[in-house]
Chains A and B, each alone.
Chain A
Amino acid sequence: MSGSRRAVGTGRQRVDLLDGPVDQRSTGLSDIALKYQPDPLVLVAIASIAAALIAVGELPMIIRVPAGLVGAFVLPGYALGVALLPASSLDLAERCLLSGSLSIAVIIVAAPFLDVAGFGIRPGPVVTLLTGITIVAAAVGYWRRSGSGSVAREADVPSIYATASDDTSTRPNGRRILTWLLAAVLTAGSLSILLSSPVEPSTEFFVLGSEGLAESYPKEATAGEPVTVTVGITNGEGETLSYRVAAYSGSARVSSSESMSIESGRTWTGRLDLTMSSPGLDQEVRIDLFTGGAKEPYRTLRLWIDVLESRQG
């Protein structure tokens, strides 16, 4: 019954469902029906190639992330585990531990070789190496399994080593599979909600100095003569909005802009000439941002400027 995926036998004679043949003598109809099912190791090799192709393709993250995690952290360890321990009595939990930890170990052991060989820790060599290891290990596992033709058993164990006092099996049954599926769905659902949760709408309003940076702001100005600053607006509100900028020194308007429409996600920058009429030290110049036809400012900036008497004055 080569290729059967049912667990037969009890105790240590039972074999992981994913490990394939467990009883060579059985010839029932159900066995014939299962005869042509692909070997899990063939599926592993195919999945590994698929994960590699997905890794190099420009596919959405919702496909790349799970496929990549399986390709990197499950398949290499699983294939190697089956190649090294083709039919030992590992149950599902043990096989999971071996798959994950062995995948991790393989990457860490292989990394210095990639480094020394000059390939570097780059996506191409890393994906190629792991996919290659997976396919070769799957082939070895397949060969060992079919070559031996029988299930290798662990030796009878004296009581000094293990005294299983209760059920130690984690072979998949309906309840466990359902639990694992629920956990996976819960995780994926929660993460999807988190990652797709809308960003809090916001508009960023800023002013830059004479060199187009957040420095070199005007320290001094002459009454009646303009000083120039750059103002910027980034619309993060999720919709196109119209904005207007006005600057005040005290109650006197010293500058204003036309109303402008900015699409969501876009940044607009423009020059603003500030012309203070009355001299005085430490004058507060308020630069207000208005949305739509609002009378109250949506955002406010502030510059401190010493305004000197005009030369004519």
Chain B
Amino acid sequence: MVTEPNRTARSEESAITQIRPALLSITPRVLLVDDDEIAVERMRLLVEAEGYEVATAASAEGALAELQREFAPIVILDRNMPGMDGIELCRAIRDGAHYPGYVYLILCTAHDAEEEILSGLNAGADDYVSKRASGTQLIARLATARRILALEQSLKQVIEERRRMAMTDALTGVHNRRYFMSHLRRELKRIKRYGSQVSLLVLDIDHFKKINDRYGHAAGDSVLMEFAKRLHGSLPRESDWVARLGGEEFAVVLPQTDLAGARVVAEKLRVAVHGVSMRTASGNIQVTVSIGVSGSAVFTTADEVTVEQLLRRADDCLYDSKRQGRDRVTVDGDKPVNQKTLKKLLYVDDDADIREIVQISLSLDGTLEVITSDGGERALLKMQMEKPDLVVLDVMMPGMDGPTLLRRMRQDPVLDQIPVIFMTAKASAEETAKFRELSAIGVIAKPFDPMTLGGQVKALWEAR
């Protein structure tokens, strides 16, 4: 499945109509059609002597049946035959059934009369040969047929290669996102029909941007290539496949695999990446990967499973892996292991009145210590000193807004792991998705109900 990236060099325009030499050496099967067994026998001798495989038919009807039984890309047919004649046979082959390839038709005529030749060519014959013609001429015309058929095969190969390239990631040689979407969709159709299972792994190389920044993009590309190679090399079965979804994000599809099986594979992949550092021109680079695992098994019925749903759930698991410290596997449906209880919370808001309301609301049940900050660098300093279990950030703040604060936290090794909840007056679905992407564990809408705020925060904490 992993192909050489330089295969793309083949796609030169000039190569399209060039016959590939290997295809010229093929001697196709030839079907001879004539009601006269002596004439058929004579042609068979000539054609077989040239190394062609020969089939014969004594009538046009017999020829059509023979083509259905076993295809022959070259047909030499007599013009005059009782029943359906050669002209009608040409038409029937051109208009009729779908053959696996082009049928090259050579019409045999007894009299070389202009109108016989014309009617044959008009009916779809590619060439004609007189019954008077020498065997040498017949063989030469067969060679023409072979050349045309080799051209047809060359074009088919080019189309196949282009199709494959359009589905392949040029850098890593694994499938691309387009292939991923269409083939996972096909896989889901299959599980609906046969009631089997499929699991999906979404993998993201940890701190890839730092690798690019520190070692350069060439080294980053080497890491991506080596990463794809290790994934591909570590998959247990022929039917498992890898795709690059974009950037440093990859997917692995495991047909007929439940979540327990997928977890084993994901763990194996994680170790394959973590275990040996990657050799690049800029030196060896130690790389780790975070993995999210989901599968059709988490849905109650196969009808509910869509590519988008599956991808979203695996993505959520991937973010859990990132949040919990990276270089780990999170499987959909796992109970989050939150031994840690929520004891200390920092609320950041520039509005002193709201800070006070939040502090009062969250202190209602008496188990939580609530501290506050009005934002900016002071908030980051307070986090470093107080080390809260959870930070709740107002989104709209002068100076440094909530998302900026969160980004700063994620760059700080001490604050990196602290879960964050956003409070916003504009809690649209897109905003929420954007915040989750920033690794927030949840969003609470403003204005909030002071009596239930504590419950909302606790629920998000439990579900993180």
Partners in one complex: no
CB within 8 Å of B: which residues of A? none
